[in-house]
Structure 1
Amino acid sequence: MGDIDMISHKADGQVNDQVKGQVNCQVSGQSSNDRMLDPKDVGMTFGYKELYSGDEDKKGRFTWQTEVPKDLGKPAEDAESEKWAIIVRRVKVYNDPKKVLALHSIAIQSPYIKDILKAVLSGYPGVTASLKRLEFSGRCEPLLHRWPALRETIVDLEKQRDEGDEEAGNRARHAKLLDDLLSEEFSEVEEAMTDMKKNGVITFQHMWTLYAPNTLIFSRQDNQDRALRLQTSHYGVDRTLQPVFWLTGVYIDFDGQNFGTQKMNISIPNFEGTKRISSLDAFPIDLHEENEQIKMKLVERGARVEALAGSYFRSYNGVGWRIGVYGNKEKHTVKGRVIIDPFGYNRFEPDYAVYVAPLSIPDVSPLPVHGSGVGTRSGRQRLRLGSHLPPDVVGSMGTMPSYVDPCYNLDDANNDDGGMPADGFFDDEDNMPKRPALTNEQKLICTPLVRGYALKEKQWLNFFVNSISDISFNELAFSSLNLPKNQKDLILGFTSVKAPYRNQFDDVIEGKGKGIIMLLSGPPGVGKTLTAESVAEQMKVPLYIMAAGDLGLDARSVETKLEDVMAMCSRWGAILLLDEADIFLEERSLHELERNKLVSIFLRVLEYYEGIMFLTTNRVRTFDAAFQSRIHISLEYPELDKPARKAIWRNFLQRHDMAQAAARDKPAAPLDGFAKSRSSKKRIGSPLMRDSGGQSQGRVDEEDDIQKPVDEELHGRLTQPHKISPDEITKLSELKINGRQIKNFLKTAQLLAIYKEEPLSYNHLETVVTSTQHLHKVTEATDHARGAIYH
């Protein structure tokens, strides 16, 4: 090759395209063969070649050319413009009768102003005032949101100037220049906002002025009061492409190990004219009419959430919900016992796991972010969802701030205990993980939800913390159990010993044989299920009741469900009751291959279970031989004899009187329409009351005169103790029925007594027994026929 080609460029825009050597220049229009280079010469010329866009046609298309366009002027910003404190760019305005130019952007070049804005705009999302070139465009929202702080700074600097500080005077002069510019451009906006706030209204066009980042905003979500720390806001569209104003706020949540922040998106639909600020879906909490009371209530609720940070056995009465397959909320009415366990929620519901960004200890003010955490789904799923769904569907996706809680130990993130003690029992105050306490502001923006498991519904759900209460355990349940004392001691001794002592004698293979398996066999209604329930009440631990139908018949799904249930029960220290377990315990045969799989799976899973399990069955003779070596205690429940039935009658009647006494101590409930009509008929012979002179005294059913005495009188009659004598109890015990039938007879008779407004008596029970005797006789005949076949 010849000498290396060089291309030089002049600063005045003229291009010298002289080349120090030979350059093969090709002219457009030459044949392709003339333009061909030797392949080894391609890209070997040192330097770069500049091309310029030519004239555009009507469709905006152009061709590249080597000449500089002739209509180019000098750049507007050069060395001369750099000396000015502020550069203001303006654009033409069309269809505006009041002005022909509008503000496009502001470039801050004054080091004084930039230094002041570092403090004024501190923590404002997306603004870094320390940059060499600081620009604001459009509505200049950061400057307007922090405009009051800028003016306060100017006042302070002017005071320092008056005291002789010359440097403060220069700073004040430059800051005042920016203040004057904002007043010139946005005075109408400022006046409109002042007027609207004074009247408690807002227009959709001025929504942006109401929501400054870091503002505490109030909203009602799922019929719950919420407070969020606003992070960003902007105009946009919803999934139906309707204009809305989007708010993104952060709140405090608990992921089972640590408290942290999550994000929530709220959309405010477009509206015409003005609208009361308090009627918006979200608005600054300081504009709430009862903001102090609301803040106090939210802080108290946040304290309850903090107190339930861990695993707890509690009672719940309210609505629980979960995210369905299609992203919708599935709501369930839950009334019963639940287990608060957010760590278990993440472990057993990984598709809906909740993770949080670590907290900043001083406060939770949002800072510029990079990366992301996870909101309502796992990380990979969140990336898939967020790529094509609008913000209102993606919802509460967490973000990972660029700061980390100094108390947040990353090694703890790999700790799988989730705050649970070694033996699986629930947290108490002495065993709580040592986490930094939440500040009042963090409690204020705390979520109203805790996650856990509903035992009756057998689902992982989100629970509202205000619907959670302590459990009232039945401490008399175990003592009223109709079993010999030595059997009671044996059962309670096996179940109540803590795991570290229970597992001192382990299997040869680690992890095997750590559980306690008890078999309860006998006919229905003799107390098998009641035994497991009473033990759980005595130990004050959860009872997980599972039937064969809950597991299904598919071998693969049965194994997964069994392993999950047993893992949950081991984690909670719960008692697992497998009711009517005949399908798993029945002896295997050569003709039922599918059921043989189920039995084999159950045997294998049972071997590694580390908790307490009760198995109940009605047919002990058909047991598979492999189960005999895996059962620690086997109790046979015989048919109830007369003394046993008599004891059950006495226990149920005693519980009836206790329930009546407790109801009697409560205020009388208001009468419904049917009860009012029955009460008035029983007491009133004439619709009018008259005095001795025959003058009308008004109707007797006037509520303001007699309703309260009537309510109290009726309440007293409906809560009377039973009137069944010991001899009548003896007579009832001669009925050859089981414990469940005794309970059903008493329940039905009690309802009959309430209807008649009488105390429970033998006559009520006799009526019920007589009415259902035919069913009892049919059952006896069936049992007799079955016995004739199998014996």
Structure 2
Amino acid sequence: MRAKLDEISESEDSSSSSDSSDPESEAEDTGTSSENDSTIVTAAAKKHKKAMVKSKIKDLQKQLRALDKEPDEDEDADQGDQAEQMPNSKSQTAKLLALMKMQRQDGLDVLQMQLQLLQVQIKTLRQAQVQEEEDSLNESIGSHARGLLNLELANPAGARGRKSMLERNLGQPGSAPPPNLEQRFVMEQFGEQKKKMSPKVEEKTKKKRASTVAYKRVDQLWDATLHDYKLTETVSDDGIDTWDQYIFTVRRRFDWEHKYQETLVDIKSKPLKESLQHIMAGVKGISLIQDTPNIDPNMLFLYLEETRDFINRCVEKSRDEKNRKKERKSAAIKAQHLRVLVNYLEKDYAETKRTLQPMLENGLITFDLLWALFKPNLVAYTTTYGDQDHPRAFKVDAATKQHHFMKGTWYEIEGKYLEYDGKSFGMGSMSVQISSFQGVRRISSLECFPLQFHKEAQRIKSELIERGKKFVAMEGVHYKYHKGMAFTKRKRQIVKINIDGRIMCDAAIHRRINPNYQVSTVRPNELDDGAVEMSDEDDESCGCGGESSSEEADGHRYTPSSSEDTPPLRRRFRLVKYLEGRSQIVEVDPEDKEAANARKDGLGEHGKDSGHTFSEEELLIASPVVLGFAFNEKLWLELTVSGISDVKFNEDAFDSLVLPESQKSIIKALVSSHAFHPSKSIDDIISGKGRGLCCVLHGPPGTGKTLTAEGIADLLKCPLYMVSAGDLGTDPRSLEKQLQNILDIAHSWGAILLLDEADVFLEKRSIHGIHRNALVSIFLRLLEYFQGILFLTTNRVETFDEAFVSRIHLSLRYDELSPKARHRVWKLFLDKTKATEGIEVEALTESDYKDLARRDVNGRQIKNLVRAAQALAVHQDQPLSMAHIRRVIDVAENFERDLKGGTGYSEAMRSYT
């Protein structure tokens, strides 16, 4: 101890001498410190305080030297006096002396450590030069030094005994090592104790820079005492978790503000992990393959009943003497670990069960307990884009609680459904949001809820399965009629459109034409992934399968919101395509081996087998919409399956055309030959060029040009795609892209393309009309490679460009209707009104028809006049008669007279004639 104080004194002398010998550096240090802190003491005050500390240490040294001068005889006499007062037993005397020495030595050690700590703080304060803390520390040093001196004076042992006991005590294994900061101070101040206190640090200081061929891991940490970063050795992690001894741990997570976030269960036990792999098979978002998987305890609670059933199976397996000893032991371990998990769930979720069960029995739920409704692989009910008239079902994958500082809190219900992308069937993904609400709500009033909570669950289920059959029958391309609601997405908003007309169902073309349209992707490999079945091999590997089959295991599944009267969906269906193009869903009998062999050959009893087999559950969750195109609206839409029906073709429309039979036969032959036998037509020298059919129908308005295209399309049962100049635009860049898409689509569907009033794009080119020349050039180039059927209607054929004339395959002229033709048209429309509309029509005489035929009107005007007369008769609640027709004709003639110039024009024409 005295040697250490000598070293401290020497260090103080050297520091004071250095301060006095180098006044410039002292002034520089003082100036630098004053810039950092306004409270730093001056250099003179600093010298004064150092001198005081030095004097205190010297006083301690003097007192210690006085102790050394005491004779050993006094020491021996003191020990003898104490020994006389002790009992005569030598062993007891030795024990008491040893005890006294240990007590004194402990006191010395404590004071020694306190002195070292105070010296470290003094050194730190010297660097900071804080006056108040230096004064307080100096006073503390004086008091502790006096206490140390008093203890030394009270110690009866001699100087040599004290020194030997101090050395022995420093080497005792039970003594706690000083902190790293104290070690540094001792190394600097006590030279002779350097090796004992921190031999590793001294060894490092002796080695040269980069002399050791190895690497070291260190951490750069902030030292709040030194106000600087320091390097410390990285604590090695051998991968041993403190909590690995437990089969699972319940871990609560908190954020950086110590706010609770979530609770997770970390599975450590391999038997427990293997058991949960069978219990929670097919659950999306849970990976039990990891070394330490973590699971939401809410999810474990949803599978509580399945866990109990699995425990019973494991117990039966462990008690069955027929099984091997290893299998019985494995099953017993799994049952033991699962019981611990069940005990935890029953304890932590006891209050939840007491609250949840009565609410579910009454069809009620709170927002905080919504997670208990949506168990994975459960069939949920919702609407199609919020339309209550079009319900839908999907299979739940997960229900997660979301929060946003602007949107608030909501539950995101993610699921999957049966989808078709134009190539294959598979599972699409979808999500439904349930906004937060206060208090209790009825489950059936939520935006999404389990199907079993619907008031008419069985009826809804039957309707959805039938609609699913209709959906899978729409595989491929189908020309249909739609009446009802359709949907489209525009700027993340759902737009509803009422469609009443012919459509084309084609998911592949829809996705190709609209690549950025938000529609779910299809994963074909996920079909039938919900039906998880355990084989006998799986049972043996898990050690707890027993004799229970997969169906029995599924039958014991418990859902917190289950309905026991819901029958399982076990039936399966197969899609069969007829030779004429129709499709039908046929139920599959698994026991019928002959039918199964026929399906393997690709031919079923009803036609060609498509190879797709669907379960009843997959039909239940089939998509409620198909992707298609509405011909009247010219829009790509999501069309509701329930509104789709077959097209009723009007095969008599072509026969009703008032055309010469020679022209009608030519049109019919050309169109039917190109539609059904395109390969037999003559090809151009360049392959794929000039294989289309272009027909020009020209003549006055209302003579039947458009009706010809419509009639031939219905006769051949082909789609009719009508395009006008407004659909194509007049910009050359957009025209080329739009026209190319239309030609490709028409050829893919085998549709008849009708370009109405085509003279806008086929007018003669001129030197100055560069814009028009570009339009004509684009149209001619694309038309050259079109391989479909194109009808062009115009009443200005004389303006056509010469280059287009050579590309016309058939040109038909439509003249003004003759009286005989007008007679046929009047009779045709009046008979049609009586047949289709169900309105009573008075029989017209032959003279009435002759009177009507003398009127100078075209076919379109005749149709409009009959429709107006029909409306007038319905309004007056009378049969349609000649009087209603005459009244309508008089109004139309007055309008036509005013249109041509009024009464003056008619009088001039009369005088001219």
TM-score computed with the length of structure 2 as normaliser: 0.64
CA contact (8 A) 1:88 1:103 kept: no
Q: Distance in 1 between matches of 2:227 and 2:432?
A: 45
Q: Distance in 2 between matches of 1:62 and 1:194?
A: 59
Q: How does 1:512-523 map to 2 (within 5 A)?
A: 512-523=689-700
Q: Could you tell me which amino acid in structure 1 is paired with residue 282 of structure 2?
A: G
Q: How does 1:452-467 map to 2 (within 5 A)?
A: 452-467=628-643
Aligned residue in 2 for 1:198: 361
Cα deviation, residue 237, structure 1: 2.2
Q: 1 or 2, which has the higher helix percentage? A: 2
Q: Distance in 2 between matches of 1:62 and 1:722?
A: 109
- Describe the shift of the 1:491–1:87 C-alpha distance in structure 2 as closer, same or farther (beyond 3 A): closer
- 2:219 corresponds to which of 39, 51, 75: 51
Q: Distance in 1 between matches of 2:887 and 2:241?
A: 107
Does residue 152 (structure 1) correspond to residue 309 (structure 2)? The answer is yes
Does residue 127 (structure 1) correspond to residue 286 (structure 2)? The answer is yes
Q: Distance in 1 between matches of 2:678 and 2:252?
A: 81
Cα deviation, residue 160, structure 1: 4.4
Aligned length: 631
Q: Could you tell me which amino acid in structure 2 is paired with residue 745 of structure 1?
A: L
- 2:372 corresponds to which of 206, 209, 218: 209
Q: Distance in 1 between matches of 2:342 and 2:317?
A: 18
- 2:340 corresponds to which of 146, 152, 177: 177
Q: Distance in 1 between matches of 2:516 and 2:829?
A: 46
Cα deviation, residue 175, structure 1: 2.2
Q: Distance in 2 between matches of 1:261 and 1:470?
A: 27
CA contact (8 A) 2:413 2:432 kept: yes
Q: Could you tell me which amino acid in structure 1 is paired with residue 893 of structure 2?
A: Q
Aligned residue in 2 for 1:574: 751
Q: How does 1:160-171 map to 2 (within 5 A)?
A: 160-161=317-318, 167=329, 168-171=331-334
Aligned residue in 2 for 1:508: 685
Q: Could you tell me which amino acid in structure 2 is paired with residue 446 of structure 1?
A: A
Q: Could you tell me which amino acid in structure 1 is paired with residue 374 of structure 2?
A: Y
CA contact (8 A) 2:681 2:691 kept: no
Aligned residue in 1 for 2:854: 734
Cα deviation, residue 207, structure 1: 1.7
CA contact (8 A) 2:489 2:518 kept: no
Cα deviation, residue 242, structure 1: 0.7
Does residue 480 (structure 1) correspond to residue 646 (structure 2)? The answer is no
Aligned residue in 2 for 1:233: 399
- 1:621 corresponds to which of 798, 814, 821: 798
Does residue 117 (structure 1) correspond to residue 276 (structure 2)? The answer is yes
Q: Distance in 2 between matches of 1:508 and 1:427?
A: 38
Q: Distance in 1 between matches of 2:514 and 2:382?
A: 28
Q: Distance in 2 between matches of 1:560 and 1:90?
A: 59
Aligned residue in 1 for 2:513: 348
Aligned residue in 2 for 1:553: 730
CA contact (8 A) 1:214 1:366 kept: no
Aligned residue in 1 for 2:434: 268
Does residue 332 (structure 1) correspond to residue 492 (structure 2)? The answer is no
| Alpha-carbon displacement from aligned partner over 1:247-297 (angstroms, at most 9, x marks no partner) | 111112111111122221211111122211221111222233332222221
Aligned residue in 2 for 1:703: none
Cα deviation, residue 500, structure 1: 3.8
Q: Distance in 2 between matches of 1:536 and 1:89?
A: 70
Aligned residue in 1 for 2:644: 468
Q: Distance in 1 between matches of 2:786 and 2:623?
A: 35
Q: Could you tell me which amino acid in structure 2 is paired with residue 770 of structure 1?
A: D
Q: Distance in 2 between matches of 1:494 and 1:781?
A: 45
- Describe the shift of the 1:504–1:263 C-alpha distance in structure 2 as closer, same or farther (beyond 3 A): same
Cα deviation, residue 103, structure 1: 10
Aligned residue in 2 for 1:492: 668
| Alpha-carbon displacement from aligned partner over 1:502-538 (angstroms, at most 9, x marks no partner) | 6530111111111111111111111111111111111
CA contact (8 A) 2:221 2:232 kept: no
| Alpha-carbon displacement from aligned partner over 1:573-620 (angstroms, at most 9, x marks no partner) | 111111111222322222322112211211111111111111111122
- 2:618 corresponds to which of 442, 454, 479: 442
Cα deviation, residue 332, structure 1: 2.1
CA contact (8 A) 1:363 1:442 kept: no
Please state whether the residue corresponding to 2:218 is helix, strand or coil.
Answer: coil
Cα deviation, residue 438, structure 1: 2.3
Q: Could you tell me which amino acid in structure 2 is paired with residue 481 of structure 1?
A: L
Q: Distance in 2 between matches of 1:90 and 1:317?
A: 55
| Alpha-carbon displacement from aligned partner over 1:161-196 (angstroms, at most 9, x marks no partner) | 565686344443332222112222221122222222
Cα deviation, residue 55, structure 1: 5.5
CA contact (8 A) 2:692 2:787 kept: yes
Q: Could you tell me which amino acid in structure 2 is paired with residue 121 of structure 1?
A: M
Q: How does 1:59-458 map to 2 (within 5 A)?
A: 64-67=229-232, 82-87=244-249, 106-136=265-295, 140-161=297-318, 167=329, 168-222=331-385, 223=387, 224-237=390-403, 240-324=406-490, 326-352=491-517, 354=519, 355-364=521-530, 434-458=610-634
Say what the alpha-carbon RMSD is for the aligned residues: 3.6
CA contact (8 A) 1:302 1:447 kept: yes
| Alpha-carbon displacement from aligned partner over 1:612-667 (angstroms, at most 9, x marks no partner) | 1111111222222112111111111111111111111111122122124xx3xxxx
Q: Could you tell me which amino acid in structure 2 is paired with residue 529 of structure 1?
A: T
Cα deviation, residue 747, structure 1: 1.1
Q: Could you tell me which amino acid in structure 1 is paired with residue 447 of structure 2?
A: D
CA contact (8 A) 2:841 2:881 kept: no
- Describe the shift of the 1:239–1:534 C-alpha distance in structure 2 as closer, same or farther (beyond 3 A): farther
Cα deviation, residue 23, structure 1: 4.3
CA contact (8 A) 1:200 1:278 kept: yes
Q: Distance in 2 between matches of 1:91 and 1:476?
A: 76
Q: Could you tell me which amino acid in structure 2 is paired with residue 119 of structure 1?
A: H
- Describe the shift of the 1:643–1:197 C-alpha distance in structure 2 as closer, same or farther (beyond 3 A): same
| Alpha-carbon displacement from aligned partner over 1:438-484 (angstroms, at most 9, x marks no partner) | 22111111110101111011111110110111111112111111011
- Describe the shift of the 1:77–1:721 C-alpha distance in structure 2 as closer, same or farther (beyond 3 A): same
| Alpha-carbon displacement from aligned partner over 1:381-416 (angstroms, at most 9, x marks no partner) | xxxxxxxxxxxxxxxxxxxxxxxxxxxxxxxxxxxx
Please state whether the residue corresponding to 2:612 is helix, strand or coil.
Answer: coil
Cα deviation, residue 130, structure 1: 4.5
- Describe the shift of the 1:586–1:778 C-alpha distance in structure 2 as closer, same or farther (beyond 3 A): farther
CA contact (8 A) 2:502 2:631 kept: yes
Aligned residue in 1 for 2:822: 645
Cα deviation, residue 45, structure 1: 5.1
Q: Could you tell me which amino acid in structure 2 is paired with residue 331 of structure 1?
A: K
| Alpha-carbon displacement from aligned partner over 1:725-774 (angstroms, at most 9, x marks no partner) | 12210111011111111111111111111122222111111111112212
CA contact (8 A) 1:585 1:623 kept: yes
CA contact (8 A) 2:755 2:791 kept: yes
Q: Distance in 1 between matches of 2:767 and 2:254?
A: 90
Q: Distance in 2 between matches of 1:757 and 1:659?
A: 18
- Describe the shift of the 1:53–1:191 C-alpha distance in structure 2 as closer, same or farther (beyond 3 A): farther
CA contact (8 A) 1:145 1:212 kept: yes
Aligned residue in 1 for 2:717: 540
Cα deviation, residue 304, structure 1: 0.8
Please state whether the residue corresponding to 2:651 is helix, strand or coil.
Answer: coil
Structure 2 regions of 5+ residues with no counterpart? 1-176, 181-197, 534-576, 585-605
Q: Could you tell me which amino acid in structure 2 is paired with residue 750 of structure 1?
A: Q
Q: Which runs of 4+ in 1 moved over 6 A?
A: 12-15, 18-21, 74-77, 90-93, 425-433, 780-785
TM-score computed with the length of structure 1 as normaliser: 0.73
Q: Distance in 1 between matches of 2:631 and 2:692?
A: 21
